[in-house]
């Protein structure tokens, strides 16, 4: 992983790292509170040899001293040395316990022995250090002169007496806490990297690009309002999610240049990735751009579109496929634009057989001949074969991949199955993308003011061919859920021989205009308003 990937992983797991840091700091604080404060007193002994003073004796004495130094150091915490200390000072511990608090050291280049004693009391530490030094001198003298006749060839003397220490030698409470915090951060970072390495869920575009060459048509961000307001009609006009679906609309337009196919299957690898919401929102933004759109709920196992849009579901796709009704009789208009919905109808016992029947192929052909775009919301690919059956009957397939909802292996398997059946023009919609992981994640911060209308603006959306206007609270007019009701009158004239262009427009709506006409008209009104304001000022 490169630095950017590492930073993204750490940002995704920032809660884990913070939690580990807090636990580490609390652990360090607890250790500091439970560990008593200790002090260390030190004393030094000088080792010398008694000789006649000749050069030879001095050389031999120096060699002898160096050979003995490590022996004396090892003896400092022995029972022979510490036993008398315990008895003389009346310590409430054994010589073995005392040995854990006594440390003797020596420098190979000197003839000094350092003795350090740790205790909770600085005075007790100094007193014990002095007693250990005295006891070591006595033991060495006895060992070097066992007969007690004459002077000992080795002389140990106190070079530096022990003094009660002023500062504690143990870590302070703040130091324990900071060390615990550091350990917690290190552990949290390690856990985040390990979790990322073991996590096989789809995390973003980089992961997707490693497993497929299929184009990413758009990345739909997720936020706290996604569950409450899943449809673009419930969002402010220039919300990031709304812009993502308009970007998808634009990419599909460019992708269809020179391509006569107008039928699109929207599916996913597994359930819960947001394919139905994607289908509905794509249909809405396409209709807002002046396209005549048919949205078909072909998920005959778990249909959702009728519930999401507040439509009737007694009759629908299954009704048409079994020959009980014509499509023109069960299509329902939704909203103020040219959007018509064919709900799923009753759930059949044999959905796969119905979807691969000639009636389904005939229905798609009929709808593509009548509408600018036919969007089919199909079942997920991996659990059932319905999606693969539908992929053979459309001109394009959109695979919705939910970030954090699907595993990379499942996306690979779904794309592999589409490749095996030679599905046409597969594109991917990255859904539920955390805003912080989007490429150019600061887009909404850096260009947030650009996405919103200026104060006093006339409300013309010059960048959107749909030309929607906004209300004072930032929501689009004419987007109430449910919109128009009633069945679509197809080319067969329907039951009353109506027009083949859908429900008749009332006289107050004026002649039907294409998106370019509507856009030009609103731009003209906007320019007239601006000119009037300039002249007035």
The whole-number pLDDT of residue 105 equals 93
Q: Mind spelling out the 3-state secondary structure of 164-194?
A: CCCCCCCCCHHHHHHHHHHHHHHHHHHHHHH
Cα 260 to Cα 275: distance, rounded to the nearest angstrom: 24
**Shortest CA distance to 479 belongs to which of 228, 236, 225, 223?**
236
In the chain, the largest separation of any two C-alpha atoms, in whole Å, equals 138
The whole-number pLDDT of residue 255 equals 67
pLDDT digits (tens, 9 = 90+) for 317-326: 999 999 999 9
Mean pLDDT across the chain, nearest whole number?
A: 79
The whole-number pLDDT of residue 197 equals 82
Beta-bridge mates of residue 375: 264, 295
Average pLDDT, stretch 166-176? 88
Look up the CATH superfamily of 39-160: EIF_2_alpha (3.30.70.1130)
The whole-number pLDDT of residue 487 equals 42
pLDDT digits (tens, 9 = 90+) for 25-52: 999 999 988 888 899 999 999 988 766 5
pLDDT digits (tens, 9 = 90+) for 464-489: 333 333 333 333 323 334 444 444 43
The whole-number pLDDT of residue 119 equals 93
The whole-number pLDDT of residue 287 equals 95
| Stronger pLDDT, 198 or 309, i.e. the higher one | 309
Cα 378 to Cα 382: distance, rounded to the nearest angstrom: 12
The whole-number pLDDT of residue 318 equals 95
**Shortest CA distance to 69 belongs to which of 100, 101, 47?**
47
* pLDDT > 90: percent of the chain: 52
The whole-number pLDDT of residue 490 equals 40
Q: Which of 85-94, 97-106, 256-265, 271-280 is the least confident region?
A: 256-265
The whole-number pLDDT of residue 316 equals 94
Delimit the domains of the chain by residue range.
3-35+171-198, 39-160, 205-441+462-503+513-522
The C-alpha R_g of the chain, in whole angstroms, comes to 42
Beta-bridge mates of residue 399: 267, 428
Q: Which CATH number fits domain 205-441+462-503+513-522: 3.10.20.310, 3.50.50.60, 3.40.50.300, 3.40.1350.10?
A: 3.40.50.300
Give the 3-state secondary structure of residue 324: coil
The whole-number pLDDT of residue 293 equals 96
Q: Is the pLDDT of residue 269 over 70?
A: yes
pLDDT digits (tens, 9 = 90+) for 284-304: 999 999 999 999 999 999 999
Q: Which of 49-53, 98-102, 242-246 is the least confident region?
A: 49-53
pLDDT digits (tens, 9 = 90+) for 435-465: 766 654 444 444 444 444 444 443 333 333 3
Average pLDDT, stretch 226-232? 82
Q: Which of 68-72, 411-415, 450-454 is the least confident region?
A: 450-454
Question: Within 13 Å, how many C-alpha atoms sit on residue 425's CB side?
Answer: 19
| Stronger pLDDT, 466 or 410, i.e. the higher one | 410
Cα 109 to Cα 6: distance, rounded to the nearest angstrom: 49
| Stronger pLDDT, 409 or 523, i.e. the higher one | 409
List strand residue ranges (DSSP E) for 435-522, in order.
none
Positive or negative CA dihedral for 127, 128, 130, 135?
positive
Q: Is the pLDDT of residue 358 over 90?
A: yes
Average pLDDT, stretch 262-273? 94
Residue appearing with tokens 């002389």: 155
Under 8 Å between Cβ of 401 and 431? yes
* pLDDT > 70: percent of the chain: 75
Cα 302 to Cα 268: distance, rounded to the nearest angstrom: 14
Cβ-proximal residues to 490 (8 Å cutoff; 6+ apart), any chain: 326, 327, 328, 331, 366, 370, 500
Lookup: tokens for 102: 């006594």
The whole-number pLDDT of residue 261 equals 66
pLDDT level of residue 115 (50, 70, 90 thresholds): very high
pLDDT digits (tens, 9 = 90+) for 121-157: 999 999 999 999 999 999 988 888 776 666 667 888 8
């Amino acid at each position: 992983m490169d630095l950017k990937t590492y930073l993204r992983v750490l940002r995704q797991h920032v809660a884990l790292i913070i939690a580990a840091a807090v636990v580490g700091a609390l652990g360090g604080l607890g250790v500091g509170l439970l560990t008593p404060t200790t002090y260390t007193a030190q004393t030094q002994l000088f080792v010398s040899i008694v000789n006649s003073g000749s050069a030879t004796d001095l050389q031999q004495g120096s060699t002898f001293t160096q050979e003995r130094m490590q022996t004396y150091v090892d003896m400092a915490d022995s029972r022979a040395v510490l036993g008398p200390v315990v008895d003389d000072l009346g310590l409430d511990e054994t010589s073995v316990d005392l040995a854990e608090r006594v440390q003797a050291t020596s420098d190979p280049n000197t003839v000094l022995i350092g003795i350090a004693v740790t205790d909770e009391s600085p005075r007790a530490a100094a007193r014990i250090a002095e007693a250990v030094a005295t006891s070591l001198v006595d033991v060495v003298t006895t060992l070097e002169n066992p007969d007690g006749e004459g002077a000992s060839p080795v002389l140990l003397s106190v070079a530096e007496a022990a003094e009660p220490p002023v500062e504690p030698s143990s870590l302070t409470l703040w130091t324990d806490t900071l060390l615990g915090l550091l350990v917690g951060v290190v552990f949290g970072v390690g856990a985040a990297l390990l979790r990322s390495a073991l996590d096989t869920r789809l995390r973003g575009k980089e992961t997707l690009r490693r497993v497929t060459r299929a184009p990413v048509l758009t990345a739909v961000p997720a936020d706290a309002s996604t569950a409450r307001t899943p449809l673009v009609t419930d969002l402010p006009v220039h919300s990031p999610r709304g812009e993502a679906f308009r970007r998808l609309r634009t990419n599909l337009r460019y992708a269809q240049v020179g391509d006569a196919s107008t039928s699109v299957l929207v599916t996913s690898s597994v359930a819960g990735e947001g394919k139905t919401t994607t289908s509905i929102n794509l249909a809405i933004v396409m209709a807002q751009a002046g396209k005549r759109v048919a949205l078909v709920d072909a998920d005959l196992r778990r249909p959702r579109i009728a519930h999401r849009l507040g439509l009737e579901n007694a009759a629908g796709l299954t009704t048409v496929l079994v020959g009980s009704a014509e499509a023109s009789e069960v299509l329902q208009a939704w909203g103020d634009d040219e959007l018509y919905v064919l709900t799923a109808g009753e759930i059949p016992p044999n959905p796969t057989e119905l979807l691969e029947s000639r009636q389904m192929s005939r229905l798609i052909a009929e709808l593509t001949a009548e509408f600018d775009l036919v969007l089919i919301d199909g079942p997920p690919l991996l659990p059932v074969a319905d999606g693969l059956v539908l992929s053979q009957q459309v001109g394009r397939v959109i695979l919705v991949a939910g970030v954090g909802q699907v595993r990379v292996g499942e996306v690979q398997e779904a794309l592999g199955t589409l490749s095996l059946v030679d599905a046409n023009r597969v594109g991917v919609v990255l859904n539920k993308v955390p805003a912080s992981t989007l490429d150019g994640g600061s887009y909404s911060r850096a260009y947030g003011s650009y996405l919103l209308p200026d104060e006093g603006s006339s409300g013309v959306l010059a960048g959107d061919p749909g030309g929607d206007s906004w209300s004072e609270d930032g929501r689009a007019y004419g987007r109430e859920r449910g919109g128009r009701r009633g069945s679509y009158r197809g080319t067969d004239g329907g039951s009353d021989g109506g027009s083949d262009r859908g429900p008749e427009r009332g006289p107050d709506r004026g002649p039907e205009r294409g998106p370019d006409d509507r856009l030009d008209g609103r731009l003209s009104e906007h320019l007239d308003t601006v000119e009037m304001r300039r002249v007035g000022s």
